């Protein structure tokens, strides 16, 4: 990795406390994740 890319990029997408359901059936509760920006060469 080159020096210009040595730092972790800032979050591009951040999701907190997501609940997914299909009708009344809850599939996932309190999902939290972060997607960073892509590193370029």
pLDDT in tens, 1-40: 444 555 666 778 999 999 999 999 999 999 999 998 877 7
C-alpha span between 36 and 13 (Å, rounded): 7
Question: How many angstroms from the chain centroid is the CA of residue 32?
Answer: 8
User: Nearest to residue 27, comparing CAs of 17, 19, 35?
Assistant: 19
Q: What pTM did the predictor assign? A: 0.55
Looking at residue 34, its pLDDT comes to 93
- Categorise residue 5: left if φ over 0, alpha if ψ from -120 to 50, beta otherwise: alpha
Note the pLDDT of residue 38: 77
Q: How far apart are CA 15 and CA 23, in angstroms?
A: 21
């Amino acid at each position: 990795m080159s020096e210009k890319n040595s730092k972790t990029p800032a979050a591009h997408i951040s999701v907190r406390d997501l609940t997914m359901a299909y009708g009344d059936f809850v599939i996932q509760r309190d999902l939290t994740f972060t997607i960073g920006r892509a590193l370029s060469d």
